[in-house]
């Protein structure tokens, strides 16, 4: 009898497992792709060139190619879109899910999807979703969460709405608020916060702890040696993860022919070039997020004062699945909203958050229109959709136009308040609802200098001629909200491109790889402060560091023996300022850096390329360039004394339109086309070129592609039908 019962239990267990598996995999249904007309050509570097009959077909092919090369990341992106990060990755990622609930991003997309996006864009988004679902149905063994499928078009739009606020540093303001109004007001949490800040999850997944960076340069015919127009597309992103660049070329019979970079989960190329035009983005720092301190009714904590009376909070509840080890549970935090936006109840008070562009879902629409433009007029019309809430934009085209645009949804704020930090939330005077008009933002179109640059520095230094935008143009405002800082890259770009009135194509490439630190920049000023410190010279490491600093040549060349010390000592100091955090003492940073190098290398003076490395699979390559140089390399110090690159220069495109209008380009990726396929020949095949500062051809023409080694196929069709 016991044996029979044991056998039945085994049978029931296997039956339950089978039924459970059947339930899980049942949603991986192959979508109907009847009528899809799309081909993918993989060039010798594995980079996908997608040719569709329609723009939607091209988006379908793009999604399929990304899935082939980086399905793990694209699935993770959809975890975020569905508010399932904490369920997959643990409770430290619940903050990402919570912010999506707080800002009602999924609700907003559901409400506006059919009305705020054009039929063309909806077709593109829907085709992309179909391809992801197709790939998942064909490769169920790669799917970690089958219950998230099928992916919907609305999910994809949510991804844009989620990510764009982090690019104008919403996380930085949130971190500061938590630090000042939560951790510093609670002793226990203050201790815990030294090892954990909930916004660290945002940094890990979307920013990767790296300092701000990106470059974009456009040189017009009047400044080039032969009348050509040059464009450098050089955005700095993390080298892995949801916002790592993926290179692709999409073309269709509806006029699309665009090569550039995109992110897993985005159905379009986000910056790049066509035969007619191109553009590059850099992150800017418009102050378009505000924090309000609310006054709570002492007799009713669910009311706040507004314009002389008490107003009820709107309330709700989130449902966030969370995994802790093998245990999963549903976290149901209470939510509330004021007139200003979502509310945080902290030990230091009750606060509401509001940012420019909240409720706008048209970023995907704008980027689509930018890629479809054929001239400056059409491109600026696309930008005036105001769907993309921030980013500098540098533009160039075959007609010889060059332009810089400071793109932002800056709030129109009332006078008389200190908008730099927390403002009172008890009055409608601080409740803004409009953004600055497009033509009021800084821009420079075909300036007299003949060039524009953007290196995450102030728009008031985008070029050298007097017709550039100026800070005094905003003197009528109490609060501007536009950054005025300079980066070393900004100074060097102005010195190089502004100092050469006849730039050859070779010089254009050479200047991009500049490794020097400008005398006007922060790094040299800080090195002088380090040299002026009165430190204990009886410490051998400190005495050697003092000599290394005195002899340091201000560059990040491969053989420079002082750059490792400078980078190790100064990076935490500069990063803290950027993150609005208390800066550590310079003397201790120098001492720690000297001892770190001495411990791992036996000396403080170590050639930079011995320390700075590119690691990918079995590759371990020396690098040159460094933090905030035009050849931008940023990384993380490891336990062996090395600086392992993980951010900075990555996917680069260098574009030339000749005087007669022909286009040619070269590009590079820091690794290769196969982001998460270690056994692919394209997992790291571009890394040696990248480490050497070299490029490969970037081709738009199908005949030119087929004249070289390539592989062509149609996604979703059996091999025998290819």
pLDDT digits (tens, 9 = 90+) for 151-166: 999 999 999 999 988 8
Residue with tokens 């999850």: 201
- Which residue spans of the chain are classified as CATH 3.60.20.10? 214-282+362-509
- pLDDT higher than 50, residue 14: no
Rounded Cα–Cα distance for residues 286 and 169 (Å)? 9
- Which residue spans of the chain are classified as CATH 1.10.1400.10? 522-629
Q: How are beta strands 349-355 and 343-346 bridged, if at all?
A: antiparallel
Beta-bridge partner residues of 38: 52
Order of strands across the sheet that contains 309-312: 296-297, 300-306, 309-312
The mean per-residue pLDDT over the stretch 430-446 comes to: 96
Rounded Cα–Cα distance for residues 153 and 146 (Å)? 17
ω into 150 cis (within 30 of 0):
yes
- The two three-digit tokens of residue 552, written as one number: 């340091």
pLDDT digits (tens, 9 = 90+) for 307-320: 999 999 999 999 99
| Whether the predicted model's global pTM rises above the 0.85 cut | yes
Residue 444: half-sphere exposure toward Cβ, Cα within 13 Å: 29
Q: Is 590 helix (H, G, I), strand (E, B) or coil?
A: helix
Rounded Cα–Cα distance for residues 423 and 431 (Å)? 10
Backbone angles phi, psi at 493, to 5 degrees: -65, -40
Q: Is 252 helix (H, G, I), strand (E, B) or coil?
A: strand
Q: Quick one: pLDDT at residue 1?
A: 40
Assigned architecture for domain 522-629: Orthogonal Bundle (1.10)
Assigned architecture for domain 214-282+362-509: 4-Layer Sandwich (3.60)
Report yes or no: 166 and 357 within 8 Å, Cβ to Cβ: no
pLDDT band at 233 (very low <50, low <70, confident <90, very high): very high
- DSSP H/E element including 38: strand 38-42
- What's the chain's average pLDDT? 91
DSSP string, 397-460: ETTS-EEEEE----B-PPTTS-TTSEEE-SSGGG----B--GGGS-EEES-TTSEEEESSS-GG
pLDDT band at 184 (very low <50, low <70, confident <90, very high): low
- DSSP for residue 331: E
- DSSP H/E element including 2: helix 2-26
- DSSP H helices, 552-686, are 563-578, 586-601, 608-611
Q: Quick one: pLDDT at residue 477?
A: 82
Q: Quick one: pLDDT at residue 185?
A: 59
The mean per-residue pLDDT over the stretch 336-352 comes to: 96
pLDDT digits (tens, 9 = 90+) for 48-68: 999 999 999 999 999 999 999
The mean per-residue pLDDT over the stretch 180-204 comes to: 55
Closest CA relative to residue 451, chosen from 439, 440, 465: 465
Q: Looking at 127-131, 201-205, 225-229, which range is the least confident one?
A: 201-205
Q: Looking at 229-233, 507-511, 571-575, which range is the least confident one?
A: 571-575
**What residues contact residue 102 under an 8 Å CB cut-off, 6+ apart?**
318, 335, 342, 353
Closest CA relative to residue 711, chosen from 44, 36, 38, 37: 44
Q: Is 319 helix (H, G, I), strand (E, B) or coil?
A: coil
Query: Taking CA 617 as the corner, what is the angle to CA 615 and CA 620, rounded to the nearest 5 degrees?
Result: 35
**What residues contact residue 515 under an 8 Å CB cut-off, 6+ apart?**
555, 556, 557, 624, 625, 626, 629, 630, 631
pLDDT digits (tens, 9 = 90+) for 619-667: 999 999 999 999 999 999 999 999 999 999 999 999 999 999 999 999 9
The mean per-residue pLDDT over the stretch 259-268 comes to: 97
- pLDDT higher than 50, residue 330: yes
Rounded Cα–Cα distance for residues 56 and 23 (Å)? 31
pLDDT digits (tens, 9 = 90+) for 567-594: 999 999 998 887 778 899 999 999 999 9
Question: What is the C-alpha R_g of the chain?
Answer: 27
Give me the helix-helix angle, 363-372 and 153-167, nearest 10°: 90
């Amino acid at each position: 009898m016991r044996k029979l019962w044991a056998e039945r239990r085994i049978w029931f267990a296997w039956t339950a497992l089978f039924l459970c598996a059947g339930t899980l995999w049942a949603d991986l249904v192959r979508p109907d792709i009847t009528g899809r007309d799309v081909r993918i050509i993989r060039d010798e570097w594995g980079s996908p060139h997608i040719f569709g009959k329609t723009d939607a077909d091209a988006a379908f092919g793009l999604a399929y190619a990304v899935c082939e090369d980086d399905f793990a990341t694209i699935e993770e992106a959809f975890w975020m879109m569905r508010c399932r990060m904490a369920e997959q990755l643990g409770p430290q990622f619940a903050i990402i899910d919570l912010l999506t609930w707080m800002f009602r991003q999924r609700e907003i997309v559901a409400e506006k999807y059919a009305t705020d996006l054009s039929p063309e864009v909806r077709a593109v988004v829907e085709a992309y979703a179909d391809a992801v679902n197709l790939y998942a149905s064909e490769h169920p063994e790669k799917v970690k969460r089958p219950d998230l499928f099928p992916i919907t078009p609305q999910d994809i739009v949510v991804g844009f709405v989620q990510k764009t606020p982090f690019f104008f540093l919403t996380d930085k303001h949130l971190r500061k608020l938590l630090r000042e109004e939560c951790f510093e007001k609670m002793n226990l949490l203050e201790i815990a916060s030294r090892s954990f800040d909930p916004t660290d999850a945002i940094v890990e997944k979307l920013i990767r702890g790296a300092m701000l960076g990106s470059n974009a340069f456009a040189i017009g015919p009047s400044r080039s040696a032969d009348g050509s127009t040059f464009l450098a597309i050089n955005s700095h992103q993390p080298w892995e993860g949801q916002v790592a660049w993926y290179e692709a070329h999409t073309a269709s019979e509806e006029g699309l022919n665009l090569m550039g970079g995109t992110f897993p989960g985005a159905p379009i190329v986000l910056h790049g070039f066509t035969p007619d035009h191109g553009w590059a983005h850099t992150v800017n720092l418009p102050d378009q997020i505000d924090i309000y301190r609310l006054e709570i009714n002492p007799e009713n904590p669910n009311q706040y004062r507004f314009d002389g009376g008490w107003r009820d909070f709107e309330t709700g509840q989130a449902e966030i699945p969370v995994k802790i080890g093998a245990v999963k549970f549903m976290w149901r935090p209470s939510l509330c909203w004021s007139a200003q936006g979502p509310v945080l109840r902290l030990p230091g008070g009750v606060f509401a958050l509001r940012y420019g562009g909240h409720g706008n879902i048209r970023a995907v629409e704008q980027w689509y229109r930018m890629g479809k433009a054929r001239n400056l007029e059409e491109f600026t019309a696309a930008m005036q959709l105001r769907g993309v809430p921030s980013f500098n934009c540098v533009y160039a085209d075959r007609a010889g136009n060059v332009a810089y645009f400071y793109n932002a949804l800056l709030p129109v704020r009332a006078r008389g308040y200190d908008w730099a930090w927390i403002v009172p939330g008890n009055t409608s005077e601080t409740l803004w609802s409009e953004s600055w008009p497009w033509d009021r933002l800084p821009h420079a179109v075909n300036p007299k200098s003949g060039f524009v640059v953007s290196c995450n520095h102030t728009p008031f230094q985008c070029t050298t001629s007097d017709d550039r935008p100026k800070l005094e143009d905003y003197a009528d405002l109490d609060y501007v909200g536009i950054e005025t800082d300079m980066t070393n890259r900004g100074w060097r770009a102005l010195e190089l491109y502004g100092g050469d009135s006849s730039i050859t194509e070779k010089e254009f490439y050479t200047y991009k790889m500049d490794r020097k630190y400008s005398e006007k920049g922060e790094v040299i000023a800080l090195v002088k402060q380090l040299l002026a410190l009165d430190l204990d010279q009886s410490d051998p490491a400190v005495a050697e560091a003092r000599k290394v600093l005195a002899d340091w040549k201000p560059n990040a060349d491969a053989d420079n023996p002082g750059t490792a010390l400078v980078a190790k000592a100064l990076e935490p100091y500069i990063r803290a300022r950027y993150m609005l955090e208390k800066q550590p003492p310079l003397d201790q940073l120098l001492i720690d850096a000297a001892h770190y190098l001495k411990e791992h290398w036996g000396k403080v003076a170590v050639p930079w390329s011995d320390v700075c490395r590119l690691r990918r699979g079995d590759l371990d390559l020396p690098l040159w360039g460094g933090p905030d140089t035009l050849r931008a390399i940023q990384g993380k110090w490891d336990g062996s004394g090395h600086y392992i690159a993980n951010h900075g220069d990555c996917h680069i495109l260098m574009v030339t339109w000749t005087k007669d209008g022909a286009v040619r380009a070269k590009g590079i990726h820091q690794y290769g086309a196969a982001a998460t396929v270690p056994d692919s020949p394209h997992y790291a095949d571009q890394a040696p070129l990248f480490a050497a500062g070299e490029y490969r051809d970037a081709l738009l023409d199908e005949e030119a592609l087929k004249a070289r080694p390539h592989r062509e196929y149609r996604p979703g069709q059996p091999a025998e039908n290819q």
